[in-house]
Amino acid sequence: MCARQKTVLIGVTGCIAAYKSCEIVRAFQKRGVRAKVVMTEHATEFVGPTTFRALTREPVAVGLFDEPGSPIHHISLAQEADLMLIAPCTANVIAKLAQGICDDLLTTTALATKAPLVIAPAMNVNMYEHAATQRNMQILRERGCHFIEPDEGFLACGDTGKGRLADIGEIVDACLEILEVEQDMAGLNVLVTAGPTQEPIDTVRCITNHSSGKMGYAIAEAAAARGAQVHLISGPVSIPEPQGVQVHRVTTAQQMLEASQELVDGCDIVVCTAAVCDFRPAAPASRKLKKGDGTSELEHIELVQNPDILATLASCEGRRAIVGFAAETDDVVEYAKGKLASKRADLIVANDVSEGKVFGSERNEVWLVTAEGEEHVPEMDKVHLADVVLDKTLSLYDLKMA
Protein backbone atom coordinates (compact mmCIF):
# COMPACT_ATOMS: atom_id res chain seq x y z
CA MET A 1 0.00 0.00 0.00
CA CYS A 2 1.36 3.43 -0.84
CA ALA A 3 1.52 6.10 1.87
CA ARG A 4 -0.71 8.43 -0.10
CA GLN A 5 -3.55 5.98 -0.42
CA LYS A 6 -6.39 6.54 2.02
CA THR A 7 -7.83 3.74 4.10
CA VAL A 8 -11.53 3.45 4.85
CA LEU A 9 -12.53 1.05 7.59
CA ILE A 10 -16.00 -0.25 6.78
CA GLY A 11 -18.01 -1.48 9.73
CA VAL A 12 -20.71 -3.96 8.73
CA THR A 13 -23.56 -4.63 11.16
CA GLY A 14 -26.33 -7.24 11.29
CA CYS A 15 -28.88 -6.08 8.77
CA ILE A 16 -30.27 -7.51 5.54
CA ALA A 17 -28.46 -4.72 3.65
CA ALA A 18 -25.11 -6.17 4.78
CA TYR A 19 -24.64 -7.71 1.33
CA LYS A 20 -24.50 -4.18 -0.10
CA SER A 21 -21.29 -3.61 1.89
CA CYS A 22 -19.56 -5.84 -0.67
CA GLU A 23 -20.44 -3.32 -3.37
CA ILE A 24 -19.33 -0.49 -1.11
CA VAL A 25 -15.92 -2.16 -0.75
CA ARG A 26 -15.65 -2.46 -4.54
CA ALA A 27 -16.74 1.14 -5.09
CA PHE A 28 -14.00 2.42 -2.78
CA GLN A 29 -11.40 0.23 -4.44
CA LYS A 30 -12.42 1.54 -7.87
CA ARG A 31 -11.76 5.04 -6.60
CA GLY A 32 -8.29 4.02 -5.42
CA VAL A 33 -9.19 3.86 -1.74
CA ARG A 34 -8.03 0.94 0.37
CA ALA A 35 -10.96 -0.75 2.08
CA LYS A 36 -10.74 -2.79 5.29
CA VAL A 37 -13.71 -4.44 6.94
CA VAL A 38 -14.71 -5.07 10.53
CA MET A 39 -17.96 -6.88 11.27
CA THR A 40 -20.30 -7.47 14.17
CA GLU A 41 -21.17 -11.04 15.10
CA HIS A 42 -24.73 -10.47 13.81
CA ALA A 43 -23.44 -9.22 10.45
CA THR A 44 -21.81 -12.62 9.86
CA GLU A 45 -25.33 -14.12 9.79
CA PHE A 46 -25.87 -12.19 6.55
CA VAL A 47 -22.43 -12.17 4.85
CA GLY A 48 -19.39 -14.24 5.83
CA PRO A 49 -16.03 -12.63 6.67
CA THR A 50 -14.50 -14.80 3.91
CA THR A 51 -16.35 -12.76 1.30
CA PHE A 52 -14.86 -9.53 2.61
CA ARG A 53 -11.46 -11.14 3.02
CA ALA A 54 -11.53 -12.14 -0.65
CA LEU A 55 -12.74 -8.72 -1.78
CA THR A 56 -10.28 -6.68 0.29
CA ARG A 57 -7.37 -9.15 0.45
CA GLU A 58 -7.05 -7.98 4.05
CA PRO A 59 -7.79 -9.75 7.33
CA VAL A 60 -11.40 -9.31 8.50
CA ALA A 61 -11.94 -9.46 12.22
CA VAL A 62 -15.20 -9.90 14.13
CA GLY A 63 -14.26 -10.57 17.74
CA LEU A 64 -12.05 -8.39 19.91
CA PHE A 65 -9.49 -11.17 20.15
CA ASP A 66 -9.68 -12.51 16.58
CA GLU A 67 -6.22 -11.39 15.53
CA PRO A 68 -3.69 -13.42 17.51
CA GLY A 69 -0.84 -11.29 16.15
CA SER A 70 -2.41 -8.11 17.50
CA PRO A 71 -3.82 -8.26 21.04
CA ILE A 72 -4.97 -4.65 20.71
CA HIS A 73 -6.43 -5.01 17.26
CA HIS A 74 -9.09 -2.31 17.83
CA ILE A 75 -6.32 0.24 18.35
CA SER A 76 -4.35 -0.70 15.23
CA LEU A 77 -7.55 -0.67 13.15
CA ALA A 78 -8.58 2.65 14.69
CA GLN A 79 -5.21 4.22 13.89
CA GLU A 80 -5.00 2.83 10.36
CA ALA A 81 -8.32 4.32 9.29
CA ASP A 82 -8.49 7.71 7.60
CA LEU A 83 -12.26 7.37 7.88
CA MET A 84 -14.58 4.86 9.51
CA LEU A 85 -17.85 4.15 7.71
CA ILE A 86 -20.52 2.00 9.31
CA ALA A 87 -22.79 0.81 6.52
CA PRO A 88 -25.31 -0.58 7.03
CA CYS A 89 -25.66 0.57 10.63
CA THR A 90 -28.42 -0.89 12.79
CA ALA A 91 -30.44 0.93 15.48
CA ASN A 92 -28.64 -1.20 18.05
CA VAL A 93 -25.16 -0.08 16.96
CA ILE A 94 -26.30 3.56 16.71
CA ALA A 95 -27.60 3.27 20.30
CA LYS A 96 -24.35 1.72 21.52
CA LEU A 97 -22.24 4.38 19.83
CA ALA A 98 -24.41 7.15 21.29
CA GLN A 99 -23.85 5.75 24.76
CA GLY A 100 -20.18 4.93 24.28
CA ILE A 101 -20.76 1.22 24.76
CA CYS A 102 -17.96 -0.84 23.30
CA ASP A 103 -18.67 -4.53 23.75
CA ASP A 104 -17.33 -5.83 20.45
CA LEU A 105 -14.56 -5.06 17.97
CA LEU A 106 -16.63 -2.73 15.78
CA THR A 107 -17.95 -0.50 18.57
CA THR A 108 -14.61 -0.52 20.39
CA THR A 109 -12.81 0.54 17.22
CA ALA A 110 -15.40 3.27 16.58
CA LEU A 111 -14.75 4.63 20.07
CA ALA A 112 -10.98 4.37 19.72
CA THR A 113 -10.61 6.03 16.33
CA LYS A 114 -9.85 9.70 15.81
CA ALA A 115 -10.88 9.36 12.15
CA PRO A 116 -14.17 10.91 10.97
CA LEU A 117 -17.10 8.58 11.59
CA VAL A 118 -19.74 8.23 8.87
CA ILE A 119 -22.90 6.26 9.53
CA ALA A 120 -25.34 4.99 6.91
CA PRO A 121 -28.32 3.60 8.84
CA ALA A 122 -30.55 0.85 7.48
CA MET A 123 -33.47 -0.58 9.42
CA ASN A 124 -37.23 -0.92 9.64
CA VAL A 125 -39.07 2.41 9.28
CA ASN A 126 -40.56 2.23 12.81
CA MET A 127 -37.17 1.54 14.33
CA TYR A 128 -35.68 4.42 12.35
CA GLU A 129 -38.42 6.85 13.32
CA HIS A 130 -38.45 5.74 16.97
CA ALA A 131 -37.70 8.59 19.35
CA ALA A 132 -34.82 6.61 20.87
CA THR A 133 -33.08 6.16 17.50
CA GLN A 134 -33.68 9.77 16.50
CA ARG A 135 -32.31 10.96 19.84
CA ASN A 136 -29.25 8.70 19.55
CA MET A 137 -28.56 10.02 16.05
CA GLN A 138 -28.87 13.56 17.34
CA ILE A 139 -26.33 12.82 20.10
CA LEU A 140 -23.90 11.43 17.54
CA ARG A 141 -24.44 14.36 15.14
CA GLU A 142 -23.62 16.76 17.95
CA ARG A 143 -20.36 14.87 18.40
CA GLY A 144 -19.42 15.44 14.77
CA CYS A 145 -20.58 12.14 13.34
CA HIS A 146 -21.81 12.32 9.72
CA PHE A 147 -25.07 10.60 8.77
CA ILE A 148 -26.13 9.51 5.35
CA GLU A 149 -29.89 9.43 5.53
CA PRO A 150 -31.58 6.20 4.49
CA ASP A 151 -33.85 6.21 1.43
CA GLU A 152 -37.60 5.76 1.47
CA GLY A 153 -39.17 2.79 -0.20
CA PHE A 154 -40.08 -0.85 0.11
CA LEU A 155 -38.23 -2.47 3.03
CA ALA A 156 -37.10 -6.07 3.31
CA CYS A 157 -39.49 -6.61 6.24
CA GLY A 158 -42.47 -5.76 4.03
CA ASP A 159 -43.07 -2.24 5.39
CA THR A 160 -42.74 0.85 3.28
CA GLY A 161 -41.01 4.01 4.49
CA LYS A 162 -37.65 5.45 5.40
CA GLY A 163 -35.02 2.86 6.25
CA ARG A 164 -33.40 1.55 3.05
CA LEU A 165 -29.64 1.92 2.97
CA ALA A 166 -28.77 5.05 0.98
CA ASP A 167 -27.51 4.70 -2.57
CA ILE A 168 -23.97 3.25 -2.63
CA GLY A 169 -22.67 6.03 -4.91
CA GLU A 170 -24.03 8.63 -2.49
CA ILE A 171 -22.36 6.92 0.49
CA VAL A 172 -19.00 6.62 -1.26
CA ASP A 173 -19.08 10.19 -2.66
CA ALA A 174 -19.85 11.58 0.80
CA CYS A 175 -16.88 9.69 2.28
CA LEU A 176 -14.53 10.79 -0.50
CA GLU A 177 -15.55 14.38 0.08
CA ILE A 178 -14.73 14.07 3.78
CA LEU A 179 -11.43 12.36 2.90
CA GLU A 180 -10.68 15.18 0.45
CA VAL A 181 -9.60 12.69 -2.18
CA GLU A 182 -8.81 14.73 -5.28
CA GLN A 183 -10.50 13.21 -8.32
CA ASP A 184 -8.77 15.23 -11.04
CA MET A 185 -8.19 12.11 -13.16
CA ALA A 186 -11.80 10.88 -13.02
CA GLY A 187 -12.90 9.65 -16.45
CA LEU A 188 -9.35 9.11 -17.73
CA ASN A 189 -8.00 5.73 -18.80
CA VAL A 190 -4.38 5.21 -17.87
CA LEU A 191 -2.01 2.43 -18.92
CA VAL A 192 1.17 1.90 -16.91
CA THR A 193 3.98 -0.55 -17.63
CA ALA A 194 6.18 -1.48 -14.68
CA GLY A 195 8.91 -3.73 -13.39
CA PRO A 196 11.56 -5.63 -15.31
CA THR A 197 11.01 -8.15 -18.06
CA GLN A 198 12.57 -11.61 -18.04
CA GLU A 199 13.92 -13.04 -21.28
CA PRO A 200 14.45 -16.80 -21.15
CA ILE A 201 17.83 -18.28 -22.07
CA ASP A 202 16.67 -21.81 -21.36
CA THR A 203 14.05 -23.36 -19.09
CA VAL A 204 15.77 -22.18 -15.88
CA ARG A 205 17.86 -19.12 -16.79
CA CYS A 206 16.89 -15.69 -17.97
CA ILE A 207 18.20 -12.20 -18.73
CA THR A 208 16.62 -9.56 -16.50
CA ASN A 209 17.50 -6.45 -14.46
CA HIS A 210 17.13 -5.03 -10.94
CA SER A 211 13.94 -2.98 -11.47
CA SER A 212 11.69 -3.31 -8.41
CA GLY A 213 8.54 -1.93 -10.07
CA LYS A 214 8.04 0.54 -7.20
CA MET A 215 7.88 3.66 -9.38
CA GLY A 216 5.32 2.22 -11.79
CA TYR A 217 3.22 0.76 -9.00
CA ALA A 218 3.23 4.13 -7.20
CA ILE A 219 2.11 5.87 -10.40
CA ALA A 220 -0.66 3.34 -11.02
CA GLU A 221 -1.89 3.65 -7.46
CA ALA A 222 -1.74 7.45 -7.45
CA ALA A 223 -3.66 7.64 -10.76
CA ALA A 224 -6.35 5.33 -9.36
CA ALA A 225 -6.53 7.39 -6.17
CA ARG A 226 -7.12 10.45 -8.37
CA GLY A 227 -10.07 8.74 -10.04
CA ALA A 228 -8.53 7.22 -13.20
CA GLN A 229 -9.28 3.73 -14.53
CA VAL A 230 -5.86 2.13 -14.47
CA HIS A 231 -4.39 -0.90 -16.24
CA LEU A 232 -1.01 -1.88 -14.87
CA ILE A 233 1.04 -4.21 -17.05
CA SER A 234 3.63 -5.62 -14.75
CA GLY A 235 6.74 -7.69 -15.25
CA PRO A 236 7.79 -10.06 -12.43
CA VAL A 237 8.05 -8.09 -9.16
CA SER A 238 7.61 -8.97 -5.51
CA ILE A 239 5.70 -5.94 -4.27
CA PRO A 240 1.98 -5.96 -3.38
CA GLU A 241 -0.58 -5.15 -6.06
CA PRO A 242 -2.13 -1.70 -5.68
CA GLN A 243 -5.86 -1.61 -4.91
CA GLY A 244 -8.25 -0.20 -7.47
CA VAL A 245 -5.95 -1.08 -10.37
CA GLN A 246 -6.31 -3.84 -12.95
CA VAL A 247 -3.04 -5.72 -12.95
CA HIS A 248 -1.92 -7.75 -15.98
CA ARG A 249 1.08 -9.94 -15.25
CA VAL A 250 3.58 -10.62 -18.01
CA THR A 251 7.10 -12.00 -18.15
CA THR A 252 8.77 -11.07 -21.43
CA ALA A 253 9.01 -7.82 -23.42
CA GLN A 254 7.02 -9.42 -26.22
CA GLN A 255 4.18 -10.25 -23.80
CA MET A 256 4.34 -6.74 -22.35
CA LEU A 257 4.06 -5.29 -25.84
CA GLU A 258 1.10 -7.49 -26.76
CA ALA A 259 -0.76 -6.70 -23.51
CA SER A 260 -0.11 -2.97 -24.04
CA GLN A 261 -1.26 -3.02 -27.65
CA GLU A 262 -4.50 -4.71 -26.61
CA LEU A 263 -5.23 -1.97 -24.09
CA VAL A 264 -3.87 1.19 -25.70
CA ASP A 265 -6.99 1.89 -27.71
CA GLY A 266 -9.15 4.14 -25.53
CA CYS A 267 -6.25 5.11 -23.26
CA ASP A 268 -5.76 8.79 -22.52
CA ILE A 269 -2.42 8.48 -20.81
CA VAL A 270 0.37 5.91 -21.19
CA VAL A 271 3.18 5.83 -18.65
CA CYS A 272 6.01 3.42 -19.47
CA THR A 273 8.09 2.90 -16.35
CA ALA A 274 9.05 -0.69 -17.17
CA ALA A 275 12.72 -1.52 -17.43
CA VAL A 276 12.25 -3.60 -20.55
CA CYS A 277 15.21 -5.79 -21.46
CA ASP A 278 16.67 -4.37 -24.65
CA PHE A 279 17.70 -7.78 -25.96
CA ARG A 280 16.45 -11.34 -25.68
CA PRO A 281 18.05 -14.66 -26.56
CA ALA A 282 17.22 -15.40 -30.18
CA ALA A 283 16.37 -19.04 -29.57
CA PRO A 284 15.69 -19.95 -25.92
CA ALA A 285 16.48 -23.60 -25.31
CA SER A 286 13.62 -25.88 -24.33
CA ARG A 287 15.87 -27.74 -21.85
CA LYS A 288 18.41 -26.67 -19.26
CA LEU A 289 21.69 -25.90 -21.04
CA LYS A 290 24.79 -27.50 -19.57
CA LYS A 291 27.94 -25.63 -18.68
CA GLY A 292 30.78 -27.20 -20.59
CA ASP A 293 34.33 -26.88 -21.78
CA GLY A 294 34.12 -23.82 -23.94
CA THR A 295 31.79 -25.26 -26.50
CA SER A 296 28.71 -24.73 -24.35
CA GLU A 297 25.77 -22.92 -25.93
CA LEU A 298 25.74 -20.85 -22.73
CA GLU A 299 28.98 -19.09 -23.68
CA HIS A 300 27.63 -17.73 -26.95
CA ILE A 301 24.04 -16.66 -26.60
CA GLU A 302 22.77 -15.00 -29.73
CA LEU A 303 20.66 -11.98 -28.88
CA VAL A 304 18.00 -10.12 -30.83
CA GLN A 305 16.63 -6.68 -30.04
CA ASN A 306 13.28 -6.41 -28.25
CA PRO A 307 10.56 -4.15 -29.59
CA ASP A 308 10.40 -0.68 -28.06
CA ILE A 309 7.02 -0.69 -26.31
CA LEU A 310 6.92 3.04 -25.63
CA ALA A 311 7.79 3.98 -29.21
CA THR A 312 5.27 1.47 -30.55
CA LEU A 313 2.49 2.85 -28.34
CA ALA A 314 3.43 6.44 -29.22
CA SER A 315 2.92 5.63 -32.89
CA CYS A 316 -0.53 4.07 -32.33
CA GLU A 317 -3.59 5.87 -33.62
CA GLY A 318 -5.41 8.23 -31.27
CA ARG A 319 -4.50 11.23 -29.16
CA ARG A 320 -3.02 10.57 -25.77
CA ALA A 321 -0.20 11.73 -23.52
CA ILE A 322 2.85 9.45 -23.65
CA VAL A 323 5.30 9.39 -20.76
CA GLY A 324 8.55 7.49 -20.63
CA PHE A 325 11.33 7.07 -18.10
CA ALA A 326 15.03 7.19 -18.83
CA ALA A 327 17.64 5.74 -16.55
CA GLU A 328 21.09 7.06 -17.38
CA THR A 329 24.49 7.08 -15.75
CA ASP A 330 25.77 10.24 -17.46
CA ASP A 331 24.44 13.23 -19.46
CA VAL A 332 21.04 12.36 -18.02
CA VAL A 333 19.11 15.32 -19.46
CA GLU A 334 20.79 15.24 -22.88
CA TYR A 335 20.01 11.57 -23.42
CA ALA A 336 16.44 12.14 -22.20
CA LYS A 337 15.98 14.89 -24.81
CA GLY A 338 17.11 12.45 -27.48
CA LYS A 339 14.60 9.85 -26.26
CA LEU A 340 11.79 12.40 -26.16
CA ALA A 341 12.28 12.98 -29.87
CA SER A 342 13.17 9.47 -31.03
CA LYS A 343 10.32 7.79 -29.14
CA ARG A 344 7.84 10.63 -29.82
CA ALA A 345 6.98 10.94 -26.14
CA ASP A 346 5.43 14.03 -24.52
CA LEU A 347 7.42 13.68 -21.32
CA ILE A 348 10.55 11.80 -20.32
CA VAL A 349 11.21 11.42 -16.62
CA ALA A 350 14.97 11.14 -16.45
CA ASN A 351 16.96 9.84 -13.54
CA ASP A 352 20.56 9.14 -12.72
CA VAL A 353 21.23 5.48 -12.01
CA SER A 354 24.97 5.80 -11.63
CA GLU A 355 26.55 4.08 -8.61
CA GLY A 356 23.55 1.82 -8.02
CA LYS A 357 21.11 4.69 -7.37
CA VAL A 358 17.33 4.35 -7.83
CA PHE A 359 16.81 0.63 -8.51
CA GLY A 360 14.90 -0.80 -5.56
CA SER A 361 15.12 2.48 -3.65
CA GLU A 362 12.13 4.24 -2.09
CA ARG A 363 13.36 7.64 -3.28
CA ASN A 364 14.30 9.28 -6.54
CA GLU A 365 15.54 12.60 -7.94
CA VAL A 366 14.46 13.30 -11.52
CA TRP A 367 14.30 15.79 -14.38
CA LEU A 368 11.02 16.24 -16.23
CA VAL A 369 12.05 16.66 -19.85
CA THR A 370 9.51 17.99 -22.37
CA ALA A 371 9.70 19.81 -25.71
CA GLU A 372 9.55 23.05 -23.69
CA GLY A 373 12.63 22.28 -21.60
CA GLU A 374 13.48 20.48 -18.38
CA GLU A 375 12.45 20.84 -14.75
CA HIS A 376 14.47 19.47 -11.89
CA VAL A 377 12.51 17.61 -9.21
CA PRO A 378 14.51 17.27 -5.99
CA GLU A 379 14.86 13.91 -4.30
CA MET A 380 11.65 12.65 -2.74
CA ASP A 381 9.96 9.32 -2.09
CA LYS A 382 8.46 7.57 -5.09
CA VAL A 383 4.93 7.88 -3.70
CA HIS A 384 5.04 11.67 -3.79
CA LEU A 385 7.06 11.69 -6.99
CA ALA A 386 4.22 9.71 -8.61
CA ASP A 387 1.91 12.67 -8.01
CA VAL A 388 4.46 15.16 -9.33
CA VAL A 389 4.80 13.11 -12.53
CA LEU A 390 1.00 12.84 -12.85
CA ASP A 391 0.55 16.62 -12.30
CA LYS A 392 2.95 17.29 -15.19
CA THR A 393 1.36 14.57 -17.32
CA LEU A 394 -2.13 16.01 -16.77
CA SER A 395 -1.04 19.49 -17.82
CA LEU A 396 0.53 18.04 -21.00
CA TYR A 397 -2.60 15.99 -21.63
CA ASP A 398 -4.80 19.09 -21.29
CA LEU A 399 -2.56 21.00 -23.71
CA LYS A 400 -2.64 18.17 -26.22
CA MET A 401 -6.43 17.84 -26.06
CA ALA A 402 -7.10 21.59 -26.14
Active-site positions? Answer: 157
Query: Minimum CB separation from ligand C5P for residue 142, in Å?
Result: 54
Largest CA distance in the chain: 90
Query: Minimum CB separation from ligand C5P for residue 397, in Å?
Result: 17
Residues that bind ligand C5P (CB under 6 A): 193, 253, 272-274, 276, 306, 308-310, 324-326, 339
- Closer residue to ligand C5P in complex, CB, 88/324: 324
- Find the angle CA(274)-CA(278)-CA(280) to the nearest 5 degrees: 115
- Closer residue to ligand C5P in complex, CB, 136/260: 260
Gyration radius of the chain's alpha carbons: 26
Query: For residues 18 and 47, is the Cβ–Cβ distance under 8 A?
Result: yes
Left if phi > 0, otherwise alpha if psi is -120 to 50, otherwise beta: which for 101? beta
Query: Minimum CB separation from ligand C5P for residue 193, in Å?
Result: 6
Backbone φ and ψ for 243, nearest 5 degrees, come out as -75, 150
Q: Which residues of 335-353 are buried (b: 16+ CB within 10 A; e: fewer)?
A: bbbebbeebebbbbbbbbb
- Closer residue to ligand C5P in complex, CB, 176/345: 345
Give the DSSP per-residue string, 288-317: PPPP-SS--GGGS--EEEPP-HHHHHHTSS
- Closer residue to ligand C5P in complex, CB, 33/332: 332
Q: Which amino acid is at 8?
A: V
- Closer residue to ligand C5P in complex, CB, 306/393: 306
Query: Minimum CB separation from ligand C5P for residue 256, in Å?
Result: 8
Strand partners, 161: 153
Query: Minimum CB separation from ligand C5P for residue 265, in Å?
Result: 17
